[in-house]
Amino acid sequence: MAEQQAKWLSCAEGGAGSEPGSLVRFARLEQLLDWGRANSLWPLTLGLACCAIEMMAAGAARFDLARFGAEVFRPSPRQADVMIVAGTVNWKMAGPIKTLYDQMLEPKWVIAFGNCAISGGPFVFPGQYAVVEGVDKLFPVDVHVPGCPPRPEALIEGILELEQKITGTRRWPRVKTA
C-alpha cells in the first residue's frame, strides 16, 4: 500500500527518475510547469462532424474526461491548450481552423481525432474537390487517434499519450493486448 502511494506521488510530481518517498520534492521549474499543463489540458470546443459526438460522449457521464483534467471545453481559442480536430475539415473550413490554431496561445497541442482529420478518411477518392486530406497539411499534429469515429476510450488514450509527450512519464500503465 505504502509502496503504491509512493509510486503515485512520484508520478504526480512528474519528477522523472526521482526517488519515491517523501512529499517534499525539488524539481526544475520547467518540470513543474509541464506537470501542471499535463494535468489540465483544456480542449477547444471544435466539433466538426460525426467524431464530435464521440468527443461529447467522452466528456459526458460514462467516460468522464474530467478524471484527466481535460473536460473544460473552452469556446475561445485564447483559453485553450489543445485543439481536438474532431471531424472532416474541408477547404472552406481550412481558413477558419488555421486562424483558430494561430489564435491559441503557446504552448499548444493538436490531436487529430478520427480518420477524416488524419487523412481525409472515407471522403478521399480520385477527383475529390472538398476535403483537406489530413489537418497536418495545415498545422503540426501531436497525436493521431484513428477510427471512424474513434471510441471515447480512444480519445482518453490520446490525451494520456499527449500527457506523456509533455511530461515524459505516463500517468497510467499502458494496457497490453495479448
Partner 1 sequence: MSPGHPTDSSVSAAAPRETFVLNVGPQHPATHGVLRLKLTMDGEYVLHAEPVIGYAHRMHEKMGENRTYVQFLPNPSRIDYLSAMHYMHAYVCVVERALGIEVPPRAEYIRVITSELNRIASHLVWFGAFLLDLGAFTPLLYAFDDREKILDLLEAVTGSRLTYCYYRFGGLCNDVDEQFIEGTRAFVKHMRGRLGMYHKLVTENLILRKRLEGIGVISAELCRKYGATGPVLRGSGVPCDVRKLEPYSVYPEFEFDVPHFAEGDCMARYKVRMEEIAQSLRIIEQAIAKLPPGPVMAEKVPRVIKPPPGDYYFAVEAARGRFAIRLVSDGTEVPYRLKLRTPSFSNLALFGEAARGLLMQDALALLGSLDLVIPDVDR
Residues forming the site for partner 1 (CB under 8 A)? 44-50, 52-54, 56-57, 60-62, 75, 87-88, 90, 92-93, 96-97, 100, 122-123, 125, 127-131, 148-149, 151
Closer to ligand SF4 by CB, 50 or 154: give it. 50
Distance CA 120, CA 140 (A): 16
46 binds ligand SF4 (CB under 6 A): no
Alpha carbon of 78 to those of 34, 43, 67, 141: distances in Å?
Answer: 19, 11, 23, 18
121 binds ligand SF4 (CB under 6 A): yes
Contact segment (CB under 6 A) with ligand SF4 among 11-19, 36-44, 46-54, 98-106 equals 46-54
Shortest Cβ distance from residue 95 to partner 1 (Å)? 10
Residue 158 interacts with ligand SF4 (CB under 6 A)? no
- In the complex, the smallest distance separating the C-beta of residue 118 from partner 1, rounded to whole angstroms, is 15
47 conformational bin, left if phi > 0, alpha if psi -120 to 50, beta if neither: beta
Q: Find the shortest distance in angstroms from Cβ 60 to partner 1.
A: 3
Q: Is 50 in the site for ligand SF4 (CB under 6 A)?
A: yes
CB 138 within 8 A of CB 95: no
Phi, psi angle pair for 34, to nearest 5°: -60, -40
Axis-axis angle for helices 29-39, 152-167 (nearest 10):
170
CA atoms of 74 and 82, how far apart (whole Å) = 10
Contact residues toward ligand SF4 (CB under 6 A) are 49-51, 87-88, 114-116, 121-122, 148-149
